[in-house]
Amino acid sequence: MAEILYTLVRTIFRVYYLLLLARIILSWLPIGRNIITGFIYDVTEPFLAFFRRLIPIRIGLPIDFSPIFAFIALEIIENILVRLIFML
């Protein structure tokens, strides 16, 4: 049972990592909003918005650091869940 939960957790987090990476790449490209980009933005925006509220953008530095903190937080949450799974 633990192996199935482990695989499920890892898969869900890997998919979300890929969606965040796609979101970062899309932010650099002049691509209009379509079904795929809309889905990626809709799925990743709530998580990224949380970090944007915590880390205000400095005036004169238009770089969004929220994806970096999102990746770190996802890694920490994933590791905690994996440890909990194997403690069961």
Residue 74 has pLDDT above 70, yes or no: yes
Q: Which tokens go with 88?
A: 């069961």
- The torsion angles phi and psi of 33, rounded to 5 degrees, stand at -80, 125
> Which of the four pLDDT bands, split at 50, 70 and 90, describes residue 71?
very high
What's this model's pTM, rounded to 2 decimal places? 0.87
- Counting Cα atoms < 13 Å in the Cβ hemisphere of 13 gives 19
Domain definitions of the chain by residue range: 2-87
> Which of the four pLDDT bands, split at 50, 70 and 90, describes residue 59?
low
Across the range 7-20, mean pLDDT stands at 97
Across the range 47-56, mean pLDDT stands at 88
